[in-house]
Chain A
Amino acid sequence: MPTTWLTPQLINRLEALQLSIKWVRAGHQLGGRFAINRRGSSVEFADHAPYSAGDDIRAIDWNLYARLDRLFIKTYKEEIALSVEILIDATPSMGSPTKAKFERAAQIAVSLGYVGLGDGHHVRAHWIRPGPRLVRSAWFHQRRDLPRMADVISEGHLGGPIGLAEWTRRAALATRMHGGQALLLTDGMVRPADFFRALHALMVRNIEVKVIQILAPQELHPAAFAHAGMLIDVESGASHQLAYPPAELERAVAQHNEQLARFCKRSGIPFAQHRLDEPLETFITKTLPARGFLE
């Protein structure tokens, strides 16, 4: 599948970025290039630590002993590779009002995945949709996996409706998610409580969660819906007679999105909202670094 949007210029700019990592918990995979403040075997000095029995005497800092008359050992950072899980919402709402929303989610996923690959992390994509089996890609490890990753992610398709919390719980168990990062790409068309539960399920597994909400302009400003007589939910098929002024509709959407954003902020989860009319490159290179996704 040709990925015309993935231009050499964009790839160059992605290579200059790296994922912002606030903490590293258990669950990482060793052998990466990300140095963490943990006693490790790399050459990068990390800190001094009091000597305790069993420590390698080769690590004792004799200069410090001469000055302080106490034994300290030098610790070195350990370089690890994070697991980056990209969770792409593939419920029917992502295909409404146009399929561009889902396609844009795939583009963002590929872009962030490439940034992760550039940092030496391991990247995997999941599609949030119902089914007996979880739909996910294989791990991608290297930069040269970009074309394959782009093809795989682009070939993803929409599925039926499913609760976000339910899927997250199921996926976390099935794939033994632990540690690393999870990038959730969704339109946020879920009940706030469900959204909170889903994020919580990830966080308790020591996963650093980041949320990107992708919306079409008309979803952000639904005043135009006021011309309609009846609203139809594309996921549930439920309908409702519309008898509200446009301002009230706008207010309702703003409140909903505000609820999601506020929860993320309160939980220290980076949250970014992406409008489909915003250029992808601008969003990746300017908005996401500003929101703590990249650096």
Chain B
Amino acid sequence: MSFLNPWGLLWLGSVPVLLWLWRMTSTRRRQPVSSLIPFEHLLQRQAKRRTRLIVNALFWLQLLALCGISFAVAQPLVSTHRSTVTLAVLDTSASMQAADRGSTRFAHAKQRLLHELSRKGAFEQWLLMTTAPVAPLTPEPTNDALTLRRAVDGARTADLGGNLAATVRMGRALLRAAPTKTLIITDEAAPAQEPSPALTWRTVGRPRPNVALVGLETQGPFCERAQARVIATIRNFSDAEMRVTVRARQQAKVLAEESAVVAPKVPWPCSLTLPAQTEGIVELSLTAKPDALEADDRAWITVQPVANLPIIIDSSQPAFTQAVSTWLSACPSLAWSAQAPGIAGPYVLITDRAAPQPHDAPVSLMTFLPPSAPRPVVSRWIVATDHPIGSYVAPLETVAAAVNLSEPEPGAGTSVVDALIDGRRIPVVIAGEQEGWRHVLIRLDPAFDVPSTPVVLTFFNSLRWLMGSSKTLTTGEPFTLHGFAPGEAAVRRPDGSIHPVDAQTGSLRYERTDRAGTYQITQSNQQRTVAVNFLDPLESNLLTPASTWAALPSAPATTAQGSSRARLPLGRLMMGALLLLLLIEWWLYSAKGRQR
């Protein structure tokens, strides 16, 4: 036996006090008797000071209660080797919020887990883990059923994706050994091949149709002073077409609305034109029926008042500079320069250099890779119309351009435009994003004599995409804000709770972005708002969800069964016994009172 709080045993020091109290009470207690006559010969003897403490059952009960309180405060633990360790993984990812049979999948999962806990043996230790975020619900494996039940009751889902395999690995790491049994309660289907007999898989929920916002970006006014645009990418995760309505709101006022019938599994880039002068947080919401998950039906984006970034053309080829300049001249609101970059702020760099010079300021990069021997090639362009660069361009176009026919380097980004030439599919426009900054690789020569319309459109689409921003924070990503006074700031989360955050250095970093919505950061008179979105197609796909399970390495020879000692806390049990004891004591005391 060991004690969690050995100092609690100091309460045993109160036992002498109890003895003293009893002694004092008994010597002062007056007992009326019918007569002292029967005791007369005793009275003639000299009264001695009583040395023996005369006690009754009440005293023993009080002594027992006092000792029991001391032990209960010390929180004794009984250790045993006979324990088994179960690692229970509770899926708390966003998909568990999906409505299912009158409740949510998560509610069903909790019920299942509580049912499993009710069948737990007294010395069976459990470690509860959640998948989103990957964290234990109890600090260590425990066999205390009440603690486990409370932990399960307190578990909440997050607007995050989850990974079952990673959670199990993390659980094993915390246990420092393989558990005797692993229980997974999730909405994912069990793997076709049962990994091991020690793994129990409980699936809750069934495939449900769902429509989700999976992408979001904003584009400010471009060539002329016009409205800003918000482009939301919608996906229909179902087997049938679904009518979807997307609305943009700001402070309960509908700014724009768009409806369409969205085909299954095909992304729909929904472009919403916002009224002029719109700036600040804009909320997007979609409505569709049926729609199982609400968490992916809303998103928030910040519309900046200033749209266009300055453009720098960096080339050693005058023809390239001239050709690009000619194109840019078509857009009077653009500010561009062929000078070497000397500005401090972010800008767009258009270059034909394979390795552009390093820059201090953040740069969005448009790189042209013209062929070494430019010659016009007629090709069929296959355009990914779901990408903003493919806007206004037909999915299939016949284009004459000086395309670079060499094979591109792998990992450059996503191919938006491919050219079919002699049976080969050659990427022409490749778009990518790195550390929040975008880059576009255009593999053609802009100085070619007769630029075709798709080429010019692709150029301007690329330019606009580069100037746009998809830098929406997604759940799970921390955000950092600067410019605060040294001190403490308060973060008001989307669920209404307020967390104090340290901003001693003038910067504030907040990491618990597990809820989609707006986070308001307040410090004295300063208030800022950060939008955090849940854009996770994997979680939104409730029809054919992707599995996050992966085969785990085989269990080590020593399992948690042999290495772990189950510790049964007796504190609560003792408290119950003490209550019973006090009840008996009260009854005895009352009975004595009635007798009197």
A interface list, Cβ under 8 A from B: 93-94, 96-97, 187, 189-191, 219, 222, 225-236, 238-245, 248-249, 252-253, 255-257
Q: Are B29 and A252 in contact (CB under 8 A)?
A: no
How would you classify the secondary structure of chain A's contact residues: helix, strand, loop or mixed?
mixed
Indicate whether B139 reaches chain A with its CB closer than 8 angstroms.
Answer: no
**A229 touches which of B29, B34, B38, B39 (Cβ 8 Å):** B29
Beyond A230-B28, A240-B47, is A96–B54 a contact (Cβ under 8 Å)? no
Please name the 4 residue pairs, one residue from A and one from B, whose CB atoms are nearest each other, closest first.
A228-B31, A189-B35, A229-B27, A256-B38
Set of chain A residues within 8 Å of B43, measured between Cβ atoms = 240
Cα of A76 to Cα of B45 in the assembled complex, Å:
62
Q: Give B23-64 interface residues, CB cut-off 8 Å to A.
A: 26-43, 47-50, 52, 54, 56
**A189 touches which of B38, B49, B54, B56 (Cβ 8 Å):** B38
CB distance from A123 to the nearest CB of B (A): 27
Q: Are B34 and A97 in contact (CB under 8 A)?
A: yes
Q: Are A232 and B54 in contact (CB under 8 A)?
A: no
List 10 A-B residue pairs with CB atoms under 8 Å apart, sorted by A's residue number: A93-B35, A227-B31, A230-B29, A230-B30, A231-B39, A232-B32, A234-B33, A239-B30, A243-B48, A255-B38
Cα of A199 to Cα of B31 in the assembled complex, Å:
31
Cα of A239 to Cα of B32 in the assembled complex, Å:
9
Q: Are B30 and A252 in contact (CB under 8 A)?
A: no
**B47 touches which of A243, A249, A253, A256 (Cβ 8 Å):** A243
Q: Are A229 and B26 in contact (CB under 8 A)?
A: yes
CB distance from A248 to the nearest CB of B (A): 7
Across the interface, name the chain A residue whose C-beta is closest to B35: A189
Q: Are B31 and A235 in contact (CB under 8 A)?
A: no
Cα of A234 to Cα of B35 in the assembled complex, Å:
6
Q: Are B29 and A93 in contact (CB under 8 A)?
A: no
Q: Give B349-402 interface residues, CB cut-off 8 Å to A.
A: none
CB distance from A191 to the nearest CB of B (A): 6
Set of chain A residues within 8 Å of B27, measured between Cβ atoms = 229-230
Q: Are A187 and B34 in contact (CB under 8 A)?
A: yes
Beyond A226-B54, A244-B42, is A231–B33 a contact (Cβ under 8 Å)? yes
How would you classify the secondary structure of chain B's contact residues: helix, strand, loop or mixed?
mixed
Q: Are A230 and B31 in contact (CB under 8 A)?
A: yes
Cα of A257 to Cα of B35 in the assembled complex, Å:
13
Set of chain A residues within 8 Å of B26, measured between Cβ atoms = 227-229
Q: Are A234 and B34 in contact (CB under 8 A)?
A: yes
Set of chain A residues within 8 Å of B39, measured between Cβ atoms = 231, 240, 249, 252-253
Beyond A252-B39, A252-B42, A253-B38, is A225–B54 a contact (Cβ under 8 Å)? no
Q: Are A227 and B54 in contact (CB under 8 A)?
A: yes
Set of chain A residues within 8 Å of B38, measured between Cβ atoms = 189, 252-253, 255-257
Q: Are A97 and B41 in contact (CB under 8 A)?
A: no
Cα of A244 to Cα of B54 in the assembled complex, Å:
11
Q: Are A97 and B32 in contact (CB under 8 A)?
A: yes
Extra contacts, 18 of them, besides A94-B34, A189-B37 (Cβ < 8 A), are A97-B32, A189-B35, A191-B40, A222-B33, A225-B31, A227-B31, A227-B56, A229-B30, A230-B30, A232-B30, A234-B33, A238-B36, A242-B47, A243-B47, A243-B48, A252-B42, A253-B38, A255-B38
CB distance from A221 to the nearest CB of B (A): 12
Set of chain A residues within 8 Å of B37, measured between Cβ atoms = 189-191, 256
Set of chain B residues within 8 Å of A239, measured between Cβ atoms = 30
Cα of A240 to Cα of B38 in the assembled complex, Å:
13
CB distance from A187 to the nearest CB of B (A): 6
- Residue picked from B29, B34, B38, B41, most chain A C-beta under 10 Å: B34
Q: Are A235 and B54 in contact (CB under 8 A)?
A: no
B interface list, Cβ under 8 A from A: 26-43, 47-50, 52, 54, 56
CB distance from B594 to the nearest CB of A (A): 12
- Residue picked from A219, A243, A249, most chain B C-beta under 10 Å: A243
Cα of A226 to Cα of B39 in the assembled complex, Å:
12
Set of chain B residues within 8 Å of A231, measured between Cβ atoms = 30-33, 36, 39
Q: Are A219 and B50 in contact (CB under 8 A)?
A: no
Cα of A245 to Cα of B48 in the assembled complex, Å:
11
Set of chain A residues within 8 Å of B48, measured between Cβ atoms = 243
Set of chain B residues within 8 Å of A189, measured between Cβ atoms = 34-35, 37-38
Q: Are A234 and B32 in contact (CB under 8 A)?
A: yes
Cα of A214 to Cα of B49 in the assembled complex, Å:
33
Q: Are B30 and A96 in contact (CB under 8 A)?
A: no
Beyond A248-B42, A253-B38, is A227–B29 a contact (Cβ under 8 Å)? yes
CB distance from B309 to the nearest CB of A (A): 96
Across the interface, name the chain B residue whose C-beta is closest to A253: B38
Cα of A249 to Cα of B54 in the assembled complex, Å:
14
CB distance from A276 to the nearest CB of B (A): 12
Cα of A123 to Cα of B231 in the assembled complex, Å:
119
Cα of A242 to Cα of B32 in the assembled complex, Å:
12
Cα of A222 to Cα of B42 in the assembled complex, Å:
14
Across the interface, name the chain A residue whose C-beta is closest to B54: A227
Across the interface, name the chain A residue whose C-beta is closest to B47: A241
Set of chain B residues within 8 Å of A253, measured between Cβ atoms = 38-39
Q: Are B42 and A228 in contact (CB under 8 A)?
A: no
- Residue picked from B28, B29, B32, B41, most chain A C-beta under 10 Å: B32
Cα of A219 to Cα of B34 in the assembled complex, Å:
8
Set of chain A residues within 8 Å of B41, measured between Cβ atoms = 252
Set of chain B residues within 8 Å of A238, measured between Cβ atoms = 36
Across the interface, name the chain B residue whose C-beta is closest to A189: B35
**B33 touches which of A94, A232, A241 (Cβ 8 Å):** A232
**B34 touches which of A93, A240, A257 (Cβ 8 Å):** A93
Q: Are A243 and B49 in contact (CB under 8 A)?
A: yes
Q: Are B30 and A228 in contact (CB under 8 A)?
A: yes
Q: Are A96 and B34 in contact (CB under 8 A)?
A: yes
Across the interface, name the chain B residue whose C-beta is closest to A223: B54
Cα of A189 to Cα of B34 in the assembled complex, Å:
7
Cα of A256 to Cα of B83 in the assembled complex, Å:
68
CB distance from A186 to the nearest CB of B (A): 11
Cα of A8 to Cα of B56 in the assembled complex, Å:
44
Cα of A233 to Cα of B38 in the assembled complex, Å:
11
Across the interface, name the chain A residue whose C-beta is closest to B33: A231
Cα of A219 to Cα of B39 in the assembled complex, Å:
12
Cα of A253 to Cα of B43 in the assembled complex, Å:
13
Set of chain B residues within 8 Å of A232, measured between Cβ atoms = 30-33
Cα of A248 to Cα of B26 in the assembled complex, Å:
18
Across the interface, name the chain B residue whose C-beta is closest to A240: B43
CB distance from B26 to the nearest CB of A (A): 5
Q: Are B28 and A229 in contact (CB under 8 A)?
A: yes
Cα of A244 to Cα of B38 in the assembled complex, Å:
14
Set of chain A residues within 8 Å of B32, measured between Cβ atoms = 96-97, 231-234
CB distance from A170 to the nearest CB of B (A): 21
Across the interface, name the chain B residue whose C-beta is closest to A93: B34
CB distance from A130 to the nearest CB of B (A): 16
**B50 touches which of A94, A235, A242, A248 (Cβ 8 Å):** A242
